[in-house]
Structure 1
Amino acid sequence: MILFSALTIAIVSVASTIASVRNAFAPIRKVLALLATPIVFLVSYLVPRDDSLWLFMAGQGDRFADNSKYLFLYCDCQPDVRNVWIGTDERIVAELREHGYEAYTRHSLAGRWRLLRAGYWFETHGPIAPAYAGRARLIHLTHGNYLKVMLEDHTRDWPWIVQVLVEFFFERRRRYVVTGSGPPLKNMQSMRGAPADRALMTGLPRNDALFDAFQDEELGLEESALAAVRDRAAEGPVLLYAPTYREGYGERNGVPLSELDLGLERLDSVLRSHDATLYISHHPATTFDRDLEGLDRVTVLESGGDLYPFLRECDVLVTDYSGIFYDFLLLDRPMVFFAPDLEVYLEDRDLYFDYEDHVPGTIATTPEAFVESVRAILEGADEHGDDRAAVREAFYDDPDGEACERVYHTVRDEA
């Protein structure tokens, strides 16, 4: 026993020493990596590209979600392209590989080689390993349709060198920018300066999931949470509250969610009387730390980062300034726009449209009005069907659930 304890202490001491040494050299490793970046970028121009090898990534590589996820799942069924998922989360990569998909982490040797060889990169927030992009053709699948002004339409106080790098690595090197027609196209051209010949007006791949389920769409999300929402939907109305991210570009927009009076106690009583449930889906970059103890019908939804299978189960969407409502339009279901900080928000952030004229649902600026708006909808009121139809017609050119197919055929035909 004494020998075992001594060995344990020795092993822990060695492990601690190794960790300390690694931490001490961490800054050096970062400097070396930075110095190597131009060399990697040069090599990435020299390595031959395979146009039948397509690389997919989402966000910062930390989730399997968004437009990249659904286009990846669609393209994996196509015989003439080889699809590879690249990410930073080892758990997600392992899950995809367990289900038969080709996936690698960005820092693995196999992942780096695919980054160098792939002819096409599909991304939503920019390449997660831009130094490897070289002569790869970048396809920007975007993050959605926007109500808030973004990028070049919004003041960005970035150092000039950062602006130059973003312009060189991202904006000017994209072969296509995926969007819709009408206002989405106009806004995308404005915020990104994208020429008309690089705008791919196919619609967004993730919206196909609102028309029909995808094979393996449960990958990358919390399956137990989805099962729970489906069970609740079978028993009564399901509402989803999806507020916007209020700290974009490192600045505060409006009042932080944690400081807003959401009227949840009053709302819980209304929900209970209608056998309804409200799920709160906070932005992935934020947390929701309200005490919900004692509330039977209000709960936090931990989706895993992908909301689209959940949206199909929702009867009502509650949001504020988030562009998620443009997606929900395709389901033609009621919406409530709960904007208690509307005046403050508009002082901090411009919108592409006049808020009160544009959003196709009841606008509630107080907790009391919010609760009453929900009550009215649960009792059958729906006064904004024509408004939804008008915005949907402006933003979608005959939506049919085949955006993935259009993106795939456009890129494949070019390749």
Structure 2
Amino acid sequence: MGYKTISWAKNVPQRMKWIGILRHFTFGYLLRLVFVVLEATCRHRKKNVLLFVLPYEEYDENTRYLYEYAVKHRDTDLEPVLFVYHEALYARLRGRVAGRVVAARSKDGMSAFFASRIAFTSRGAMVNAFYPYVFVAPYKRFINLWHGIPLKRIGFLARNSWESLMRAEAQRYSAMTVCSAPEQFTMALSNNMSLDDIWITNTPRNDLLFHTRSAEVETARRGVILYAPTYRDGQADTVLFPFADTDIDALAELLRAHDFRLVVRRHVLEKHAASQIVSDVISYDDRDDVQGGLAGKLCAADILVTDYSSIYLDYLALDRPIVFLPYDKQAYEVKRGLMYDYDAVTPGIKAHTFAEFLTALRTYMTDPRTDATARRDASRFFHAQQDGNACQRVLTRAIEAYAGVRHAGQPIATAGAQHDTY
């Protein structure tokens, strides 16, 4: 039922569309029927578990931050439970994180599943990501916190991608959380969901970023540049700095001169790739840390370098410089497609050669306030709420939704006006 994600997601053959449809209407329907019966049988048992689902081998994203918040601020009879699929990740987390951690495919996992009425996840577009479980509405509210504001096309809007081919096996969610009204519309279209089920709450991992922006910045340390390229579906591993004039020695010299180091963080599906660059001031950090996580890495970065990764949209919360490397933008738009006009929503220097990249770094190292106005405009557009209280909003909405509390509509914009520029 499951797949090896790294190899499979790189290049999904067209026949998978028909295999998916056949499997969905045979085994998929049978498994769903089984869980409908099981949920109905268990409907009278105490449902006091908030389930935080980790289908892949990573402890990060919004599921992690919402879980840790729920454990720390537990003020109801609902028990937060971390529901871990991968055995190696379960062994790593057990005893190292607060709260209750269970292996999904175990007796404790089965018990926690049927004791839950609300479940959260940040990934898992496909039903088979959660095998052997089926999250059946209305017995369970399954809420997707997602893992970033989408800049590229995703879901049913994606061009030439596996999501479009595998519609029959797409996981359906009760609700999704987003950061703004524009994202509310794009996520509703991408997932074929009602606007009422797309909640404008901001996302849990951004709470740390907004709190960090308002805190005192540590200056007596070595500067950090985080390079986080995006994942390219169906292509070879991402090439770092694929410019004709690339000069790593010149980059290293610039970093040393300004007392900076460059840290490369590759996409989760490319962590297996061999290191392409070796230097005393350039390193790789693909670790899925129990302490810190991605939000912690963003907080530690003074400059972000990316291309089309939505990571920069979270980084806007920190109001720090961003360098963009859109070296294959035309090909990427044809292959995958973008949700927005790229040049309009990327507030930072675009480098098309390695020389331009070095110039951009030098500019931001010297004056990090460069392009600050454009960054703030973009931040207000993509983040309706900037108070760092997303976790509280999400949990409140989830519990109210299960209890049948109806929201008579969400404000199109709060905590900052939307800008026609975008």
TM-score bracket for this pair, using the shorter chain length: 0.7 to 0.9
Superposed CA offset, 1:162-196 (max 9, x none): 42232xxx22xx22211122221121112112212
2:64 aligns with 69
Tell me how far apart the structure 1 counterparts of residues 231 and 75 of structure 2 sit (CA, whole Å). 39
Aligned to 2:239: 257
Q: Distance in 1 between matches of 2:145 and 2:164?
A: 26
Mapped contact 2:210–2:388 kept (Cα < 8 A): yes
TM alignment of 1:37-52, pairs within 5 A: 37-38=31-32, 40-46=34-40, 47-48=42-43, 50-52=46-48
The one-letter code sitting in structure 2 at the alignment partner of 1:290 is S
Q: Name 1:184's counterpart in structure 2.
A: 183
TM-aligned CA deviation for residue 342 of structure 1: 2.5
1:115–1:132 contact (8 Å) kept in structure 2: no
Offset, 1:144 = 1.3
- In structure 2, distance between residues paired with 1:367 and 1:160: 35
Give the 5 Å matches for 1:187-198.
187-198=186-197
CA distances 1:23-65 after superposition (whole Å, capped 9, x unpaired): xxxxxxxxxx98983564244332226543110023x331211
- How far off is 1:291 after superposition? 4.4
Alignment partner of 1:312: what SS? helix
Contact 1:150 1:191 in 2 (8 A): yes
Q: Indicate if the aligned counterparts of 2:240 and 2:276 stay in contact, CA closer than 8 A.
A: no
**1:301 Cα shift?**
1.3
Match in the other structure for 1:207 = 206
Matches within 5 A, 1:344-363: 344-363=331-350
Bigger share in helix: 1
TM-score (norm 2): 0.77
- Structure 2 unmatched runs, 5+: 1-26, 404-422
* CA shift digits 1:106-125 (9 cap, x unpaired): 11111122122311110112
Q: Give CA deviations for 1:330-353 in whole Å, capped at 9, x if unaligned.
A: 000011002222233233221111
Superposed counterparts of 1:124-143, under 5 Å: 124-126=122-124, 128-129=130-131, 131-134=133-136, 135-143=139-147
Q: Secondary structure at the match of 1:55?
A: strand
Q: Secondary structure at the match of 2:31?
A: helix
Give the residue type in structure 1 aligned to 2:168: V
SS at match of 2:90: helix
Q: Could you tell me how far apart the structure 1 residues matched to 2:207 and 2:232 are?
A: 28
Matched, 1:241 2:245: no
Q: Is the 8 A contact 1:70 1:209 kept in 2?
A: no
Distance in 1 between the 2:195 and 2:152 partners? 22
How many pairs does the alignment contain? Answer: 355
Query: Structure 1: which amino acid aligns with 2:274?
Result: D
- CA, structure 1 residues 181+258, in 2 after alignment: closer, same or farther (shift >3 Å)? closer
Partners of 2:58 and 2:309 in 1: CA distance: 20
Instruction: Tell me the CA shift for residue 406 of structure 1.
Output: 0.5
Identity of aligned residues (%): 27
Contact 1:116 1:133 in 2 (8 A): no
Q: Is the 8 A contact 1:272 1:296 kept in 2?
A: no
Distance 1:374 1:69 in 2: 32
Q: Which has the larger radius of gyration?
A: 1
Helix, strand or coil at the partner of 1:265: helix
Alpha carbons of 1:158 and 1:289: their partners in 2 closer, same or farther (altered >3 Å)? closer
- SS for the counterpart of 2:94 is helix
The answer to whether the 8 A contact 1:63-1:87 is kept is no
- The equivalences for 1:4-403 within 5 A come to 37-38=31-32, 40-46=34-40, 47-48=42-43, 50-58=46-54, 60-76=55-71, 77-80=73-76, 81-98=78-95, 99-126=97-124, 128-129=130-131, 131-134=133-136, 135-155=139-159, 162-166=166-170, 170-171=171-172, 174-212=173-211, 234-247=220-233, 251-252=234-235, 256-257=238-239, 260-261=242-243, 263-287=247-271, 288-293=273-278, 295-304=279-288, 306-380=293-367, 382-403=369-390
Are the structure 2 counterparts of residues 342 and 413 from structure 1 closer, same or farther at C-alpha, using a change threshold of 3 Å? closer
In the alignment, the residues of structure 2 paired with residue 388 and residue 40 of structure 1 have an alpha-carbon distance, to the nearest angstrom, of 50
Whole-Å Cα distance in 1 between the matches of residues 85 and 374 of structure 2? 41
Alignment partners' CA distance in 1, 2:348 and 2:162: 36
Q: How big is the alpha-carbon RMSD for the aligned residues of Structure 1 and Structure 2? A: 2.8
State the AA in 2 paired with 1:265.
D
Structure-1-length-normalised TM-score: 0.78
Distance 2:276 2:164 in 1: 43
Contact 1:180 / 1:203 at 8 angstroms: preserved in 2? yes
State the Cα deviation string for residues 179-237 of structure 1 (Å, max 9, x = none). 12222112111211221211111110110121348xxxxxxxxxxxxxxxx99x74321
One-letter identity of the residue aligned with 2:229: P
2:262–2:281 CA contact under 8 A, matched in 1 = yes
3-state SS, counterpart of residue 74 of structure 1: helix
- Unpaired runs of 5+ residues, structure 1, are 1-32, 214-229
CA distance 1:350–1:132, shift in 2 (3 Å): closer
* Residue 381 of structure 1: how far off its partner (Å): 5.5
